[in-house]
């Protein structure tokens, strides 16, 4: 019997995607697709006449519970197709610059770059298709020194942690509050042949930015929401001060720039560089 699926497309500000995923953590969905200021959730249809209505109400209630500004834009029932093939065909490698490319496993043979990052996306953020990931990757390239210890806060797919190791870092501590992200990161480390056996020291944990203890390190990447970044500045500064380390932050819109720079300055950070792409920015700091 042919399966049917329910596709629910919601208008959600991109800076609230992480909150939306938290709201959907216990929903048994088959996948989530991102676009500009919108997410689409796919559910297996159970065949009942009121399934769509029930799920629309359920998800709306979850969004409201977590204060996520989500508006249902489209509800569609779709007949089963070979979605996996169509999805795989639609994902193209992403060039960060002339040296760095991010590609899924099934497209790796189509690219030739000095630094190829193999990232198989699941539910995790960090495929390179978003501006913030590309900008942080570019800033990271100019910042990592051989033998460094880097921390990736809110690691998503693990792409930035993997890049740090490929750029010469010897140790990485990556964490995310989402279980799916931790599993995806671990898988992507193996896709890139980065394991403890490769001589690298790797720690990947499920931890929350508000409670995690960040060890002294040479650098931190944090592609997070503005409020999480601001609330973590003291913690970042403490971890970086001994090494006069580097902090690279993103997940920020252009109008967040001065607020974040000023808050960072209150904790001893010096603004080094700001990158921008579209409405998004990434900022690099050092601390003393």
User: What is the per-residue pLDDT across 43-73, written as a single tens digit (0 to 9) for each?
Assistant: 999 889 999 999 999 999 999 999 999 999 9
Banded pLDDT at 91 (limits 50, 70, 90): confident
- Each residue of 33-43: b (16+ CB within 10 Å) or e? ebeeebbbbbb
- 155-176 mean pLDDT: 95
63, 86, 109 — which closes off a domain?
86
Could you tell me the residue range of the domain that residue 70 belongs to?
4-86
Q: Are 245 and 222 in contact (CB under 8 A)?
A: no
60, 86, 112 — which closes off a domain?
86
Residue 141 lies in a domain: yes
For the stretch 261-269, contacts whose Cβ atoms lie closer than 8 Å and that sit 24 or more positions apart, written own/partner, are 263/230, 263/233, 264/233, 266/233, 267/233, 267/234, 267/236, 267/237, 268/237, 268/241, 269/233, 269/236, 269/237
pLDDT of residue 191 exceeding 80: yes
Residues 155 and 244 in one domain: yes
The Cα–Cα gap between 125 and 129 comes to 9
Banded pLDDT at 1 (limits 50, 70, 90): low
pLDDT of residue 19 exceeding 90: yes
Residue 117 lies in a domain: no
pLDDT of residue 123 exceeding 70: no
User: Could you tell me which of 34, 29, 238 has the C-alpha nearest to residue 124?
Assistant: 34
Residues 76 and 147 in one domain: no
Residue 40 lies in a domain: yes
- 159-174 mean pLDDT: 96
pLDDT of residue 199 exceeding 80: no
pLDDT of residue 88 exceeding 80: no
pLDDT value for 86: 61
pLDDT (tens digit, 9 = 90+) per residue, 215-239?
999 999 999 989 999 999 999 999 9
Residue 49 lies in a domain: yes
Q: Kindly report the pTM of this predicted structure.
A: 0.71
pLDDT value for 243: 97
Residue 257 lies in a domain: yes
Residue 93 lies in a domain: no
pLDDT of residue 176 exceeding 60: yes
CATH number of the structural domain spanning residue 39: 3.30.70.980
Name the residue with tokens 């609330």.
231
Residues 23 and 132 in one domain: no
Residues 21 and 150 in one domain: no
Q: Are 73 and 9 in contact (CB under 8 A)?
A: yes
The rounded radius of gyration (Å) of the Cα atoms in the chain is 20
Residues 202 and 270 in one domain: yes
Residues 78 and 131 in one domain: no
Give every strand in the sheet of 219-223, ordered side by side.
Answer: 201-206, 171-176, 149-153, 219-223, 246-253, 280-287, 269-277
Residue 82 lies in a domain: yes
Q: How many CB atoms within 10 Å of residue 221?
A: 28
Share of the chain above pLDDT 90, in %: 74
pLDDT of residue 125 exceeding 70: no
Banded pLDDT at 87 (limits 50, 70, 90): low
């Amino acid at each position: 019997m042919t399966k049917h699926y329910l596709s629910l497309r919601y208008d959600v500000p991109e800076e609230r995607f992480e909150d939306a995923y938290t709201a959907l953590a216990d929903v048994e969905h088959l996948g989530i697709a991102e676009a500009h200021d919108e997410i689409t959730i796919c559910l297996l249809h159970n065949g009942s006449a009121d399934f769509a209505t029930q799920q629309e109400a359920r998800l709306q209630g979850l969004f409201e519970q977590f204060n996520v500004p989500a508006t249902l834009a489209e509800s569609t029932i779709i007949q089963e197709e070979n979605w996996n093939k169509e999805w795989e065909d639609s994902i193209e490698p992403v060039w960060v610059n002339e040296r760095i490319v991010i590609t899924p496993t099934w497209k790796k043979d189509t690219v030739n770059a000095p630094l190829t990052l193999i990232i198989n996306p699941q539910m995790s953020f960090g495929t390179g298709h978003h501006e913030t990931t590309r900008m942080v990757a570019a800033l990271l390239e100019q910042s990592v020194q051989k033998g460094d210890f880097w921390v990736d806060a809110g690691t998503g797919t693990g792409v930035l942690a993997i890049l740090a190791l490929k750029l010469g870092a010897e140790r990485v501590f990556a964490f995310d509050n989402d279980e799916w992200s931790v599993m995806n990161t671990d898988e992507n480390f193996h896709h890139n042949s980065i394991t403890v056996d490769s001589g690298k020291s790797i720690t990947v944990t499920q931890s929350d930015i508000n409670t995690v203890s960040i060890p002294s390190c040479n650098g931190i990447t944090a592609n997070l929401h503005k409020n999480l970044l601001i609330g973590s500045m003291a913690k970042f500064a403490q971890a970086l001060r001994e090494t006069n380390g580097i902090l690279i932050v993103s997940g920020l819109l252009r109008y967040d720039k001065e607020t974040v720079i000023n808050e960072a300055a209150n904790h001893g950070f010096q603004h080094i560089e700001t990158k921008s792409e579209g409405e998004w920015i990434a900022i690099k700091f050092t601390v003393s």
